[in-house]
């Protein structure tokens, strides 16, 4: 079977305990949501791949990574971040604490995965009357981060609102970045071509 | 008057600090007890189930009175079967303290005990089933991270609750007894809500700088490797073109000074100690972080006189740490095509990017090799079949079994 090679993009989820990283992951993987009694804290690592078509011919394979509870094993932390093309900073819109701690996670990302594009995702958008993190707060955060944030989203894993849209947008941005990098690469390759200076080599080789 | 105001101020400061510590722990514990074994009738129902509260009390009490351990995810899973069995908060706490006296190192901040367990598991696997290990290597899963939960929770989550209780009883009773000499310590350092505890439990966050510094050291080695490989490639290229040295030198010059003609400078290398203590405030430090010299060896623009010098530079392994730290760099992030090409060089070396296996989460335990086809949420051993049962029995009775060895290797 003919298969088109689709570039694989590692996307990691970062954020505090209980903001819904695994719920996002589950929406991504199986488009399901489980009630609170069925949930368990994440211990370990999980990842799932899915192809998003950014246009008719070009697809991007998002490989979403979810982790939890392993902050205490340093070697794991670094391998989780390593080679990530994108990182989603997840916080809970009803919890200012989970929002305020993001700068720590951001610091982790820029140190461990310096090339990752960073996205901000406010989860639990369905809790309409308990939302304590405003759009202005999110904007301020992005400004403070010197525009390191490539996109902000508000999602609800419970209703599914905004989740698919977020992943589509992320895959588009990664697809574009990928394309421009390829162009740069080909430019680069051409720039390495060396044409021997005429006549000179033979002369200088004679000793 | 002002004296009292001062006292009041400092008291409120202390109060604030203590309550911060309590808040930090209770927040984590609360989130976990609300999602620990809620399927079981004992913990089911609404969130104000008194048994859930008991579990919360046990874990909070333990964490506040054992500052060297604190709270770490996974502890609720170990406490829950004890509470279900003892049906009494105080007795379950005693049992939990006893269990933790054996396994508390697994939850330590340094991660040494877990790292050692992984090492033992690797060695055991290499000895008992080298073929399987090479299969794992082939899929870049030889880090065995998918076993993290198995090792941390002594397989508790890999079985349905009732089976897990049975399995844990067999497992724990087969470990050689190691009773305390006098009485069991229920408290490491008594928690004092009035005074600031002398050793505030170090959280992963507080240990951040150490991690960052360790990582930098690690990375400067990696970047050296990539520089080395690049040197090798360029050398080969120069050799295959078979031009006089002047040209390969020209290539090198172009490679390292293409977009900018910054001279290659070596500052007196900054000691690592300085680097470790340099204050970086979280949000403010980001800019500095992303463009700081030691952070971006790949983006630095260098001009190297000849191949010899370049080789000399890149062949220094540990010694080059200082160099990497002190290279002049430009704060461009993406425009620097040279930087990009080098980064890609690094990527190529590792392009078979690491794979870890689905282990985490909730209801599952199926290794997912390539995503896609395997149902991630299927739990292979939620109910135990006869064959599985015999396997479990083997697992529990055979002293030579891999897991048994790893589980009982708590002593470093």
Tens-place pLDDT, residues A86-107: 999 999 999 998 999 898 888 8
Is the pLDDT score of B84 beyond 90?
yes
d(CA B283, CA B289): 10
Average pLDDT over residues A197-201: 60
More confident residue, B191 or B15: B191
Split at pLDDT 50, 70, 90, the class of B104 is very high
- Does residue B88 fall inside a structural domain? yes
Q: Establish if A186 touches chain B: CB-CB under 8 angstroms.
A: no
Is B364 domain-assigned? Answer: no
Q: What is the pLDDT of residue B109?
A: 81
Band (pLDDT 50/70/90 cuts) for residue B379 is very low
Fold of A8-191: Rossmann fold (3.40.50)
Q: Which residues 46-75 on chain A approach chain B with CB closer than 8 angstroms? A: 46-50, 63, 65-75
- What is the value of ipTM here, to two decimals? 0.78
Contact B283 A144 (CB under 8 A): yes
Predicted TM-score of the model (pTM):
0.61
| Distance separating alpha carbons of residues B167 and B174, to the nearest angstrom | 11
Between A162 and A114, name the one with better pLDDT.
Answer: A162
Beta bridge partners of A63: A10, A49
B234 assigned to some structural domain: yes
Rounded Cα–Cα distance for residues B269 and B119 (Å): 35
In a domain, B78, yes or no: yes
- Asked if pLDDT for residue B357 goes beyond 90, the answer is no
B19: contact with A, CB 8 A cutoff: no
Q: Which of A51-65, A193-207, B128-142 has the lowest mean pLDDT?
A: A193-207
- Whether pLDDT at B157 is above 90: yes
What is the pLDDT, as a whole number, of residue B293? 39
CA quadruple B86, B89, B90, B94: dihedral positive or negative? positive
The nearest alpha carbon in chain B to A44 belongs to: B360
Give, in degrees to the nearest 5, the angle at Cα B381 between B174 and B95.
40
Q: CA–CA separation, A13 vs A1, rounded Å?
A: 34
Contact check, Cβ <8 Å, A78/B143? no
- Residue B158 lies inside a defined structural domain of this protein: yes
Q: Does A104 touch chain B (CB under 8 A)?
A: yes
CB contact, 8 Å: B337 with chain A? yes
Chain A residue closest in CA terms to B297: A114
Please, which residues 206-235 of chain B have a Cβ atom closer than 8 Å to chain A? 208, 211-212, 214-216, 218
The answer to whether the Cβ–Cβ distance between B38 and A48 falls below 8 Å is no
Residue B69 forms part of a structural domain: yes
**Residue A75's pLDDT band (boundaries 50, 70, 90)?**
low
How many beta-carbon pairs under 8 angstroms link A with B? Answer: 209
> Using one digit for the tens of pLDDT, what is the confidence trace for B199-219?
444 444 444 444 444 444 444
- Looking at the structure of chain B, the number of domains it has is 1
Is residue B87 one of the residues assigned to a domain? yes
Residue with tokens 């820029």: A110
Determine the Cα–Cα distance for residues A37 and B35; give it in Å rounded to an integer. 6
Q: Domain of B169?
A: 1-194+205-238+400-407
pLDDT at B100 over 90: yes
């Amino acid at each position: 079977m003919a298969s088109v090679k689709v570039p694989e993009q590692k996307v990691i989820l970062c954020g505090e305990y209980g903001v819904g990283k695994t719920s996002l992951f589950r929406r991504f993987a199986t488009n399901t949501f489980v009630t609170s009694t069925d949930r368990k804290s994440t211990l370990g690592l999980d990842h799932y791949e899915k192809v998003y078509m950014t246009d008719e011919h070009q697809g991007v394979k998002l490989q979403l990574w979810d982790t939890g509870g392993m902050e205490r094993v340093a070697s794991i932390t670094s391998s989780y971040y390593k080679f990530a093309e994108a990182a989603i900073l997840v916080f809970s819109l009803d919890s200012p604490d989970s929002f305020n701690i993001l700068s720590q996670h951001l610091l982790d990302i820029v140190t461990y995965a310096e090339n990752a594009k960073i996205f901000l995702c406010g989860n639990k958008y369905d809790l309409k009357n308990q939302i304590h993190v405003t759009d202005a707060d999110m904007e301020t955060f992005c400004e403070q981060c010197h525009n390191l944030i490539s996109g902000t989203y508000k999602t609800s894993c419970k209703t599914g609102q905004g989740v698919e849209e977020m992943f589509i947008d992320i895959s588009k941005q990664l697809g574009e970045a990928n394309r421009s990098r390829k162009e740069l690469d080909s430019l680069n390759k051409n720039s390495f071509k060396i044409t021997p200076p005429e006549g000179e080599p033979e002369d200088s080789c004679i000793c | 008057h002002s004296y009292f105001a001062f006292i009041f101020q400092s008291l409120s400061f202390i109060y604030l600090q203590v309550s911060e510590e309590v808040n930090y722990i209770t927040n984590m514990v609360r989130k976990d007890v609300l999602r620990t074994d809620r399927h079981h009738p004992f913990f089911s129902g609404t969130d104000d189930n008194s048994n859930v509260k008991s579990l919360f009390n046990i874990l909070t009490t333990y964490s506040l009175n054992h500052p060297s351990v604190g709270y770490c995810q996974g502890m609720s899973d170990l406490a829950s079967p004890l509470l279900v069995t003892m049906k009494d908060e105080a007795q379950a706490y005693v049992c939990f303290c006893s269990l933790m006296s054996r396994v508390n190192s697994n939850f330590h901040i340094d991660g040494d005990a877990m790292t050692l367990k992984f090492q033992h598991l690797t060695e055991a696997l290499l000895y008992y089933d080298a073929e399987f290990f090479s299969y794992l290597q082939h899929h870049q899963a030889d880090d065995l991270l998918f076993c993290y939960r198995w090792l941390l929770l002594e397989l508790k989550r890999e079985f349905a609750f009732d089976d897990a209780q049975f399995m844990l009883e067999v497992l724990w009773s087969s470990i050689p007894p190691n009773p305390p000499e006098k009485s069991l310590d229920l408290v490491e350092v008594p928690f004092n809500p009035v005074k600031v505890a002398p050793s505030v439990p170090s959280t992963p966050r507080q240990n951040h700088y150490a991690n960052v510094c360790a990582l930098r050291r690690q990375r400067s080695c990696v970047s050296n490797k990539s520089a080395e490989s690049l040197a090798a490639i360029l050398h080969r290229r120069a050799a295959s073109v078979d031009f006089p040295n002047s040209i390969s030198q020209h290539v090198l010059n172009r490679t390292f000074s293409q977009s900018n003609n910054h001279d290659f400078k070596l500052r007196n290398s900054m000691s690592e100690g300085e680097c470790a203590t340099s204050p970086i405030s979280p949000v403010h430090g980001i800019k500095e972080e992303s463009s700081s010299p030691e952070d971006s060896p790949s983006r630095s623009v260098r001009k190297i006189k000849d191949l010899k010098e370049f080789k000399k530079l890149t062949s220094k392994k540990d010694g080059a740490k200082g160099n990497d730290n002190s290279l002049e760099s430009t704060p461009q992030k993406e425009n620097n095509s040279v930087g990009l090409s080098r980064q890609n060089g690094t990527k190529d070396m590792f392009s078979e990017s690491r794979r870890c296996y689905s282990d985490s989460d909730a209801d599952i335990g199926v290794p997912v090799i390539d995503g896609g086809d395997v149902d991630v949420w299927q739990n292979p051993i939620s109910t135990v079949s006869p064959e599985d049962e015999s396997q479990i029995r083997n697992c529990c009775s055979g002293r030579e079994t891999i897991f048994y060895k790893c589980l009982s290797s708590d002593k470093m």
